[in-house]
Structure 1
Amino acid sequence: MKKICLIGGMLQGFEVCYLAQKAGYEVHLIDKKKQVLIKDLVEHFYCFDITIYPSKLIDISKNVDAIIPVTENFDTIKYLHEIVSNIHCPILFDFDSYYISRDKAVSKSFFAKINVPTPINRPYSPPYFVKPITGSSSVGAFMTYDKKKIPNLDTDFIVEEYIEGNVISLEVIGNGNTYYVGKETKVHINESNDCYMISTFSNNKTFRKIAHNIASNLKLKGIMDVEAIQNKRNLKIIEIDARFPSQTPIVVYNSSGINLLEMLLEAFSLEEITNFECISTENQCTLEHLMKGKNNSLVHIGEQKLKNALTCKLYHADETIEIFEYMGSNKIYTLISKGVNEKSLCANRECGLNMLKYN
């Protein structure tokens, strides 16, 4: 049995735990907080700060097959980069690509050099889309028609044209030489620009070529998420994140059978990654976050709301639906629905919704 160690116990960690369970891996978790979201989903939990007790991390690295940072704490990632030579197993993370991707101004400059299409900077007319230079794109991002708000923003924000269309996502895994492009998914966004649902999406050759081009120019050695806006006229890249993403890999797994965690481990041990070409599948999957309201009603909530939960557990699982329940002040669930086609997906999803409504 392979053993992996995660640094960070929140949303990205949930994703890796899910895929690790499907692959039959044992998961070890390190987090400096005693109570973290995925604590009850892992086999071993260690509560300490790696920047204060690096020797503990080094000892753990002797007994696992790989370490995966799944934290958004930049100081933790920088420190891990500093001590990487002392670690006794691979760290499945591309630090150089991450430093480019976490700064949206730097990454946009990189896109321009390799002719990647992106939204126009500082457009003359509204609507404008404003987003922080660092951090998750949903936190602090907003759309406005008021040009007067734009000059008051400091250098911590990027102002772009607002483009209507589907938000679509792709994962790319690389070993620095060859690159595997995963399966497209659609990202459903609420009014707060937070993702409340992920669904399968049709293959897009243009998007796949752009994603591969970005990875090859980065010489990516790890996993990267690429997001774009697609409408009838064009496709534009809005951001990349060179880290293990949340939400989308679960939908990729259940619609295509491709476990991106397994692929990531293989990428660090193979000279060439096979199956680069587009995945063809008719299987369907949706992942959505729901909160129970008045009269047993269910409402969608954004992913960021899950950060307030104390822990989570598996509520129900079968071949058609899986439900995770989050412990906290409100009843919050993640519903994963599966089907061999759109019709069966809708029927299975309805069963899952009814299970939550009337239980």
Structure 2
Amino acid sequence: MQVAIIGGKLQGVEAAYLAKKAGWDVVLFDRREKAQGAHLADVFHCMDVLRSREEFVAKLQGADLILPAVEDVEVLTALAEVGQRTQIPCVLDLAAYKVSSSKQRSNQLFAAMGIPTPRPWPDCHFPMLLKPSDRSGSEGVQVIPDQEELERVLHQEPRDNWILEEYIEGPSYSIEVIGFSGKYQVFQITELEMDAQYDCKRVLAPVRLDLGLKGELKEIALKLARELSLQGIMDVEVILHAGKLKVLEIDARLPSQTPTAVFHSTGLNMVEYLGEAFVQGKMPGPGLKQAIQKGAGRPVILEHFLVTPEKIEACGEHILGEAGPLHLLTDFFGADEVLTDYAGGKKEWVLSLMTWGSSFVEVWDKRAQVLKRIQRELQIPKVLDPYPLSQCPVNAKITRY
């Protein structure tokens, strides 16, 4: 199978990485010459698919699937039209995406369905969280600590373009759902850890979560997919606060980070399932369900680091989006796999570190050894790591979650 991936940033990296794991040929399109996913593809075309529409269509010859990895509605609309024109299946549910890409429309959907979410302003107390309605993930998110700051923000921000809600703390979780025409299947739940800017810096799988809460989260995802009449893939992010799950956001497109963690934990490749569904009409069926129910999966940690001559620091995935083209390497300073823009002599570089094993104790120890080796061999003074081995957040007696 040959897949044409449009967009080479974080989603494009995810798509290209998993497509290659499926054994596919990858053709990547991005208007930036140094797109992060450029070196993960078999063929890379540096071009603007909107401005060079006919050239783009010509370069799609031989493609079996179009996989958008962008969040620009104008580009997505054009890709849907190109898919219809060329009869190449396009992994895109534009109607569902338009709902999920607006936090205002998403919140209206949650309210209508009775899905629990953080309480909105003015029915909540300080501190509060400000979230721009039309930006992705953690972009533009900020905490409003008091009335003075709220008044300043209300004066500066367009009131019709933001969400203001209670700020709550607790572990965050994510789940993906794939399907069509009322037939849907959820994947493994992952846990998300955030940096100071509320950007995900670490994904863990499987999760430490009560079976009842797991079932509740899966049902929320399925309920939302049915309500949206989802045609493809969507992820749901929640926070566990005071023993209750509250939905933070949904995204009706291929997410980044979590599909890779799920792949290494369970062996299930979401991009491969999407390809089979859109190209072959093969729906995720009993085989997938049985594979998910068969076991919790092996422990996996996927996390991101910024490496400078002064420090190694765990950071949100935005640092990957600020890097140059990434390379996939194995046995990198002892790691299982990494995505990195490292090159000999480079002073500042990023590292997406993937580690797995038979138990979380083994995995935390392995990743600690990788960081120590990088620190030692590159003579870096310190590692800003919230989880030194002595404080590993996993009970040493637990071997499986």
Considering the TM-score relative to the shorter chain, is it more than 0.5? yes
Partners of 2:190 and 2:64 in 1: CA distance? 29
CA distance in 2, matches of 1:81, 1:160: 34
What secondary structure does 1:311 align onto?
coil
The residue that corresponds to 2:396 in the other structure is none
Q: 1:271 to 1:258 in 2, by over 3 A?
A: closer
Distance of aligned partners of 1:113 and 1:273 in 2 relative to their CA distance in 1, 3 Å threshold: farther
Q: Which residue is 1:346 aligned to?
A: 364
Indicate yes or no: 2:308 matched with 1:290: no
Question: Normalising by structure 2, what TM-score?
Answer: 0.84
Structure 2 counterparts to residues 254-269 of structure 1, below 5 A: 254-268=264-278, 269=281
- Structure 1 residue 311, shift from structure 2 partner: 1.1
Are the aligned partners of 2:309 and 2:348 in contact in 1 as well (CA < 8 Å)? Answer: no
Which residue of 2 is the match for residue 249 of structure 1? Answer: 259
State yes or no: 1:270 paired with 2:282. Answer: yes
Shift of 1:81: 3.0
Q: How many pairs align?
A: 357
Amino acid at match of 1:355: R
Structure 1 residues without counterparts, runs of 5 or longer: none
TM-superposition CA deviations, 1:152-188 (whole Å, max 9, x none)? 3422110011111111100111122311101111111
**2:138 corresponds to 1:161:** no
Q: Is the 8 Å Cα contact of residues 5 and 68 (structure 2) preserved in structure 1?
A: yes
Quick check: which has more Rg, 1 or 2? 2
SS at match of 2:326: strand
State the SS of the aligned residue for 2:173. strand
Alignment of 1:304-315 (within 5 A): 304-315=318-329
2:182 to 169, 174, 177: 177
* Aligned counterpart, 1:133: 133
Letter in 2 for 1:315: L
- Pairing 1:142–2:146 present: no
Amino acid at match of 2:28: L
1:344 partner letter: E
Q: Which residue of 2 aligns with 1:60?
A: 59
Alpha-carbon contact 1:58-1:86 (below 8 Å) kept: no
Q: SS in structure 1 opposite 2:98?
A: helix
Residue 299 of structure 1 corresponds to which residue in structure 2? 313
Compute the RMSD of aligned alpha carbons.
Answer: 2.0
Counterpart Cα distance in 2 of 1:236 and 1:176: 26
Distance 1:87 1:356 in 2: 48
Distance verdict in 2 for CA 1:294–1:51, change over 3 Å:
closer
Kindly report structure 1 stretches of 4+ aligned residues shifted beyond 4 Å: none
Moved more, 310-319 or 43-52: 310-319
Q: What is the rounded CA distance, in whole Å, between the counterparts of 2:329 and 2:98 in structure 1?
A: 37
Q: Which one-letter code corresponds to 1:166 in the other structure? A: P
TM-score w.r.t. the length of structure 1 is 0.93
Mapped to 2, the partners of 1:84 and 1:64 lie a distance apart of: 11
Report what 2:240 is aligned to.
230
Amino acid at match of 2:256: S
Residue of structure 2 equivalent to 1:334: 352
Match in the other structure for 2:79: 80
Is 1:71 the counterpart of 2:81? The answer is: no
Residue identity opposite 1:137 in structure 2: G
2:183 is the alignment partner of 1:197: no
Cα distance in 2, alignment partners of residues 244 and 329 from structure 1 = 32
What residue identity is the alignment partner of 2:317? Answer: E
Matched ranges for 1:80-119 at <5 A: 80-119=79-118
1:357 aligns with 2:375: yes
Q: How much does 1:199 deviate?
A: 0.9
Q: CA deviation at 1:59?
A: 2.7
Which residue of structure 1 lines up, in the alignment, with residue 336 of structure 2? 321
Q: Distance in 2 between matches of 1:10 and 1:140?
A: 18
Q: Which moved more, 1:74-83 or 1:153-162?
A: 74-83
Q: Distance in 1 between matches of 2:76 and 2:193?
A: 29
